[in-house]
Amino acid sequence: MSRESEETDEEAGEQSLEATVAAVLRDVDAAYDDYERGYVDADATLSVVMTHVERLREAQADED
């Protein structure tokens, strides 16, 4: 594998993690907005948030 290929793989991994973080933040914001509007209760909102935290943990583990 060439140095250029390694850099490309690293960049792709970073973009993947960045995309995951952006999606998680968007989804958590949406869950919080739903909670603030009274559409869902705190337990449901926390469940959504924790699901996304696990998604971030998995993405981080894939990076390592």
| Mean pLDDT calculated for residue range 7-34 | 81
Domain tally, the chain = 1
Burial tier of 34 (Cβ tally within 10 Å: 0-12, 13-18, 19+): middle
Ranges 11-15, 28-32, 47-51: which has the least confidence: 11-15
Question: What is the extent of the structural domain holding 29?
Answer: 3-63
In this predicted structure, the answer to whether residue 27 has a pLDDT above a threshold of 80 is yes
d(CA 5, CA 11): 10
In this predicted structure, the answer to whether residue 5 has a pLDDT above a threshold of 50 is no
Neighbouring C-beta atoms of residue 20, cutoff 10 Å = 18
